[in-house]
Chains A and B, each alone.
Chain A
Amino acid sequence: MSVVLLAHGGGGRLMADLIREVFLPRLESPELARADDSALFTPPPGRLAFTTDAFVVDPILFPGGDIGRLAVCGTVNDLAAGGAVPLYLSAAFVIEEGLPLEVLSTIVDSLAATAREAGVRVVAGDTKVVPHGKADQLFITTAGVGCVPEGVSVSGHHARPGDVVLCSGALGDHGMAIMVARENLGFVGHLESDVAPLNDLTAALHSLGPDLHVLRDPTRGGAAAALNEIAAQSGVAIQLHEEAVPIHAPVRVACELLGTDPLTVANEGKMLAVVAPEAADAALAAWRDHPLGREAAVIGEVLEGPAGRVQVRTAFGTTRILDRPLGEQLPRIC
């Protein structure tokens, strides 16, 4: 089986072959095919959104996705959460020598297919190969540019007391799927990552105009981290209704067993929205009409204060504070 060699990153003929055989035919990008040092394009009218994200997931192939799909979705979803329509991506690959070419090809296939699904083009790229042990198989960094349509203005600073918090679907699928795959916890049942590009889903809310206040994709740290950020940025409190939060049964089971709060588990295919109360029904209907938003739900509301606090209201009428998780998710003894 052929593998990536250090020489594939050396700037010589092997590297040219790798780009010509693995990357170019899959990414179908005229900008890449020109092989210039930069991609040139005319900016659309309006404000531009620009973001970047690095992907180091282990395992690189996981149930429901892979690092290639994740690398597109992560950046596309950050642009989407900025209210933007994503247009162009760059992708930089740091490859550990010895990675089977077949695996690399599978991942580039997946990255390309996801870019097509999201309607974005990869216009710039880079490949580096590092010695064995200096990276873990494959790291990908993507950056993306998008344009924000007229009338859309979303920011973590825009939540107002009385606003309604929506979630586009069940929480915790990605993080639990990764944990189960990484630690061989197959006993909890089959879990799949939700990784998906959400720009079409967020575009469905653009018609709300000024009533659309915040969009945020609850990735690392889960909904707990995302909502704490919004509460702090906007100087408001956010209250969640525990019973209203959609969570798939296997994720609940896995979280119960591992002592993890699903609200702190990462998602890669879910979006949170904070909208004016009068727009809540329209927002919910728009999301439920979308294939990626069928399980969308109103999960809470924005309160005056205390500023920066996120609390969960339980089925018993009690409340608890939802902190952002301290660091990495750890299995507990008790």
Chain B
Amino acid sequence: MRLVDEFRDAEAVAGLREAIARRLSRPAKIMEVCGTHTMAIARAGVRQLLPPTVSLISGPGCPVCVTAQGEIDAFLALGECPGVVLASFGDMLRVPGSTGSLETLKARGTETRVVYSPMDAVRLAAASPEKEVVFFGIGFETTVPTVAAALLEACRLGLRNFSVLSAHKRVPPALAALATDPELAVDGFLLPGHVSVILGLEPYRFLAEQHQIPCAIAGFEVTDILEGILHLVTQIADGRAALANQYPRVVRPEGNPTARALMERVFTPTDAVWRGIGPIAASGLALRPEFAPWDARQKFALDWDRFANVPEPPACRCGDILKGIASPHDCPLFGRGCTPARPIGPCMVSSEGTCAAYYRYQIG
């Protein structure tokens, strides 16, 4: 398969592996920020390719996992309104809110649809004028432009039975929150390739320039990830912090201005709660007032403040695990109240999250 196989070349992997071992000067904790990196690292067994003193910590970059319980509760509550069809990406189905998940709601008879693209939800609304289709907008800057485009299409078609419940998150504010946390114990950030396709390089510069954290934007094949890590261990060895772009074949320095314009036309930053982490200022996206007819929060008069204040499970240590200062074994819920089949925190929700991996591989 072109554009895949050449980045899974065993010889190239062996070369990068040696280079990382050669450049490594001291133990290094590297956070892969993005959930897709976490999955790719697990699939290729990247940890086994690294010297034992390099540890990879899974960051907050799985959009499904960081969707707050309150946001899920709000979406599920909409299922009780007559005629509503809940449309969502598939991996949201099992993520629990405080009382249940979309999967359990579906089993009890609420009409739900798993869609591959937000445009599928628009088509569903167009084809079923008697229904009220609500799309659960989750995801980072990678996904947001597609939701914006779908919403604009619904406007153009004059569809009044389509709306979006936005639980979207922005990556840079979360990174800023991590970087300014005095407890953060991370030596470098492996930054998300897909988000960077949209954002470009600018929104990350502060990490290296103001916080002196080495950064590398990386792609998702095994050689991409290893090259990204090589950038990071090299910066660590040289005692400097810079922003490297390992993924120039798709990440342009300026990003994708068209996609950003779409996003900005429809959405505006707002405060948001991250599952396991808590509230982060300006880290969410709400629909702009002119799109109120398509904003599920307003259309269904949701008491958003109430949902935004649904408490996170108090014993969950995911926030500390995500910062690299706690291990899953430090969490009283790990393996007891919180398991892959009944996850509580984001690190267990993601099948390759730190807790799920510890559970599966019986680490520690």
Contacts and interface: CB of A to CB of B under 8 A. Distances in A.
B337 interface: no
B90 A330 contact: yes
Given A321-B361, A323-B360, A253 B90 contact: no
Nearest to B35: A334
Interface string B64-101: 10000000000000000000000001111110000000
Contact of B42 (A315, A317, A320, A333): A320
Interface in B132-156: 138-139, 142-143
Contacts of B39: 259, 334
Contacts of B43: 261, 320
A305 interface: no
A40 interface: no
B44 interface: yes
Contacts of A7: none
Contacts of A330: 90-91, 93, 114
B210 interface: no
Given A319-B48, A326-B341, A334 B1 contact: no
Contact of A316 (B13, B36, B114): B13
A118 B114 CA distance: 37
Contacts of A323: 360
Interface string A299-334: 000000000000000111111110100110011111
Contacts of A256: 1, 4
Given A252-B1, A333-B63, A316 B91 contact: no
Contacts of B64: 333-334
A37 interface: no
A interface majority secondary structure: loop
B62 interface: yes
Interface string A174-215: 000000000101000000000000000000000000000000
A333 B168 CA distance: 13
B10 A316 contact: yes
Given A314-B44, A316-B222, A249 B89 contact: no
**Residue among B62, B94, B116, B360 having the largest count of chain A Cβ atoms under 10 Å:** B116
B126 interface: no
Contacts of B93: 330
A331 B90 contact: yes
Given A326-B340, A332-B90, A321 B360 contact: yes
A320 B1 contact: no
Contacts of B92: 333
Nearest to B48: A318
Interface string B241-285: 000000000000000000000000000000000000000000000
A326 B35 CA distance: 19
A214 to B, nearest CB: 25
A318 B8 contact: no
A330 to B, nearest CB: 3
B46 to A, nearest CB: 7
Contact of A334 (B36, B94, B116, B341): B36
B45 interface: yes
Contact of B139 (A259, A317, A318, A333): A333
A334 B45 contact: no
Contacts of A258: 116
Contact of A333 (B10, B91, B222, B351): B91
Contacts of A261: 43
A249 B114 CA distance: 26
B48 A315 contact: no
A332 B45 contact: no
Contacts of A316: 10, 13-14, 44-45, 49, 222
Interface string B28-43: 0000001110010011
A166 to B, nearest CB: 24
B196 to A, nearest CB: 14
A106 B194 CA distance: 47
Contacts of B360: 321, 323
Nearest to A319: B45
Contacts of B351: 326
A185 B91 CA distance: 18
Contacts of B42: 320
Contacts of B8: 315
Interface string A12-51: 0000000000000000000000000000000000000000
A48 B74 CA distance: 56
A330 B142 CA distance: 20
Interface string B52-66: 000000000011100
Contacts of B10: 315-317
A318 B90 contact: no
Contact of A253 (B1, B45, B138): B1
26 contacts: A183-B116, A185-B116, A256-B4, A316-B13, A316-B222, A317-B10, A318-B48, A318-B49, A319-B45, A319-B48, A320-B42, A323-B360, A326-B341, A330-B93, A331-B90, A332-B90, A333-B63, A333-B64, A333-B89, A333-B91, A333-B92, A333-B138, A333-B139, A333-B143, A334-B63, A334-B142
Given A320-B45, A330-B90, A334-B142, 6 more contacts: A315-B10, A316-B222, A318-B45, A318-B48, A333-B138, A334-B36
Interface of A: 183, 185, 249, 252-253, 256, 258-259, 261, 314-321, 323, 326-327, 330-334
Top 4 A-B pairs ranked by shortest CB distance? A318-B45, A330-B90, A318-B48, A333-B89
